[in-house]
Amino acid sequence: MHIQITARHFKIHDSIRDHITKELEKLEKFFDGIISCEVVLYYERPQNSRKHCEMTLKVKGYKLFAAVDSDDFFKSVDMSVEKLERQLKKYKDKLREKDKKMVREVNAKP
């Protein structure tokens, strides 16, 4: 999986970058068809502001998106990954149902 991390108007710390890559690698155990992920981090206001994290996960034929803001970038990343995890599970279930439907149609034909 290709990971692109962008920090708007500030320089990202290595600890945050490492945390993001570690969390996103956990998603590969749920679904191995992940192509890439784009992460954008920014502050809503310059001083004493909420930290915002947006993640776009690309899989074959779909883009999954999660956006979260909180008091800390680590929390925002964790919550975004949890949202993407739920979306990946739902996407995977849809693929399974589609495959089951195709198998039933093939077996039903004489």
CB 23 within 8 A of CB 78: yes
Q: Tell me what the mean pLDDT of segment 14-43 comes to.
A: 94
User: What's the pLDDT score for residue 109?
Assistant: 66
Q: How confident is the model at residue 3 (pLDDT cuts 50, 70, 90)?
A: very high
| Residues 6 or more apart in contact with residue 7 via CB below 8 angstroms | 40, 41, 42
* pLDDT over 80 (residue 7): yes
Interval 74-83: pLDDT, tens = 999 999 999 9
Q: What is the pTM of this model?
A: 0.87
Please tell me the total count of domains within the chain: 1
Q: Tell me what the mean pLDDT of segment 45-64 comes to.
A: 90
| Residues 6 or more apart in contact with residue 12 via CB below 8 angstroms | 5, 41
Domain of residue 96, CATH code: 3.30.160.100
At how many degrees (to 10) do helices 14-27 and 73-108 cross? Answer: 20
User: What's the pLDDT score for residue 58?
Assistant: 96
Find the domain containing 78 and state its range.
2-108
Interval 30-51: pLDDT, tens = 888 999 999 999 998 777 789 9
